[in-house]
Amino acid sequence: MSTIYAVLHVILSIFIPSANLLVIIVVCRLKKKRSSGNYVFILNLAAADLLVGVMCIGDALDDATDALFDTNLVFCLIRICMGITPCIGSILTLLLVSLDKYLAVKLPLHYPSLMSKKRVILSLVVLWVISFLVGHLPLIFSGLQQNKLKGNCGLLSAAKSDYLYIICFGIFIPALLTLVYLHISVGRIAYLQHKQIQRSCLHADIPSVHVCYFKALRTIIVIVCFIVFWGPYYGTAIVKATCKSCNLSPLLRDFLFLLGETNSLINPFVYSLYHKDVRTEFARLMKCKRKGQLKPCKSIDLAVANSNFGI
C-alpha cells in the first residue's frame, strides 16, 4: 500500500504543476489584453495549486528515500505544514472566485467599486495570512504537536487530532457551506434573469436555454468536485470527533489527504478551461506552439479580449 501511495504522489507531482503552470501562462497572456480582478483570482488559484504540486514532489522524494522527515518530529511538522498551507490557500481562493462571480451578478453596478484593485490585493493578502497561520498552527502552538513521531511522517502521526478538527470545522465546512450558498444564489439570479428575457421576447431563444442549463451543470460540477475530493478526508475528522473509539489507519488517512490534493489537478479544468476566453487563448497558444511561432498568431480572432469572463 505504501508503494501505491508513493506512486500516486509521483503522478500528482508531475501533473499538478504542469496543468497549473499552463493555466498561469494562459491567464497572464489574457491579462495583457484585458485587466480583470477575476483573472487575478484564477492566477492565485493556479499558484496555490502549483504549490500543492511542488509539495507533492517533496512528498514523493521523501517516500522514495525515507528521508529525515520520517525520523524527526520537527522536520515532519515542517513538511506537513508546508503541504497544508497551499491546500488551505486553494480552498479559500475557490471562495474568492465564487464571491467575485456572485458580486458581479448580484451587484453589477457596484461591482467595479466593490472589487477595486486595492480590495483585490487586500483580499489576497488576508487569504495567504490566514492560510499560513492555520497551516502552521502545530509549529506555532506546541500543544497541537504529538509528544513524539508515531510511525511514518503524516498529519496525525506528527500533530494531534485537534489540529485536524480546526481545519475541518474552521476551514472546510464553512468553505463548503459558503460555496453552496454562493453558487445557488448565482444560479437563482441567472435563472430569474433568463425568465425575464424569455417573457420580454415574442419567441423563446432555444439556444440560450441550453446555455443556461450548461452553466447550471457547471455550478453542480464545482460543488460536487469540492465534496468528492475533500469530503472523505474531513468526513473522517467529523467521525473521529463524534466517535472516540473509532480508529482509522494512518495510511488510509494519508490516502484521503492525497485525494484532497488531487482537487488541485481538477481545479484548472473546472475553474479555468470552462471560461470561454481561457479556452480560446489556450487554443491560440497551442496553435502557435505547433507552428513554432514566438509571437501570437495573427490569423486567430483577437476578440477574446472583449469576451465575458465568468463561470
Q: Give the distance from CA 197 to its chain's centroid.
A: 34
Please tell me the least confidently modeled range out of 5-14, 183-192, 254-263, 269-278.
269-278
Instruction: Give tens-digit pLDDT for 14-56.
Output: 888 888 888 888 888 877 776 665 778 888 888 998 888 888 7
Cβ atoms of 200 and 233 closer than 8 Å: no
Q: What is the CATH number of domain 3-286?
A: 1.20.1070.10
Instruction: Look at residue 250 in the predicted model and tell me its pLDDT.
Output: 66
Q: What percent of the chain has pLDDT over 70?
A: 73
Res. 66 pLDDT band, cuts 50 70 90: low
Beta bridge mates, 145:
159
- Per DSSP, the three-state class of 181 is helix
- 144, containing H or E segment: none
pLDDT, mean of residues 246-252: 71
pLDDT of 102 higher than 90? no
Res. 309 pLDDT band, cuts 50 70 90: very low
pLDDT of 186 higher than 60? yes
Instruction: Look at residue 133 in the predicted model and tell me its pLDDT.
Output: 94
Res. 289 pLDDT band, cuts 50 70 90: low
Please tell me the least confidently modeled range out of 36-45, 80-89, 130-139, 261-270.
36-45
Cα–Cα distance between 301 and 116 in angstroms, integer? 29
Considering only residues 290 and 106, tell me which one the structure prediction assigns the higher pLDDT: 106
Closest by alpha carbon to 281, among 19, 21, 24, 30?
Answer: 30
pLDDT of 240 higher than 80? no
Most confident of 27-31, 199-203, 288-292: 27-31
pLDDT, mean of residues 201-220: 54
Counting Cβ atoms within 10 Å, is residue 251 exposed (0-12), middle (13-18) or buried (19+)?
middle
Q: Which amino acid is at 273?
A: L
Counting Cβ atoms within 10 Å, is residue 112 exposed (0-12), middle (13-18) or buried (19+)?
exposed
pLDDT of 206 higher than 70? no
Instruction: Look at residue 35 in the predicted model and tell me its pLDDT.
Output: 64
| Phi then psi dihedrals of residue 159, to 5 deg | -120, 155
pLDDT of 294 higher than 70? no
The 3-class secondary structure across 221-282, one letter per residue, is HHHHHHHHHHHHHHHHHHHHHHCCCCCCCHHHHHHHHHHHHHHHHHHHHHHHCCCHHHHHHH
Instruction: Look at residue 308 in the predicted model and tell me its pLDDT.
Output: 42
Full-model pTM: 0.79
pLDDT, mean of residues 194-198: 71
| Phi then psi dihedrals of residue 194, to 5 deg | -65, -40
Counting Cβ atoms within 10 Å, is residue 26 exposed (0-12), middle (13-18) or buried (19+)?
buried
Instruction: Look at residue 151 in the predicted model and tell me its pLDDT.
Output: 67
Instruction: Look at residue 231 in the predicted model and tell me its pLDDT.
Output: 84
Report angle CA 27, 57, 164 to the nearest 5 degrees: 90
Instruction: Look at residue 132 in the predicted model and tell me its pLDDT.
Output: 94
Instruction: Give the relative orientation of helices 250-267 and 37-65 as an angle to the nearest 10 degrees.
Output: 140
Contacts of 125 (CB under 8 A, 6+ apart): none
User: Where do the H-state alpha helices sit in the chain?
Assistant: 2-33, 37-65, 73-106, 111-114, 117-135, 137-140, 155-158, 161-167, 173-200, 206-242, 250-267, 276-291
Q: Give the distance from CA 122 to its chain's centroid.
A: 19
Cα–Cα distance between 8 and 56 in angstroms, integer? 9
Cα R_g (the chain), whole angstroms: 21
Q: What percent of the chain has pLDDT over 90?
A: 7
Instruction: Give tens-digit pLDDT for 139-157.
Output: 998 888 888 776 667 777 7
Counting Cβ atoms within 10 Å, is residue 246 exposed (0-12), middle (13-18) or buried (19+)?
exposed
pLDDT of 65 higher than 60? yes
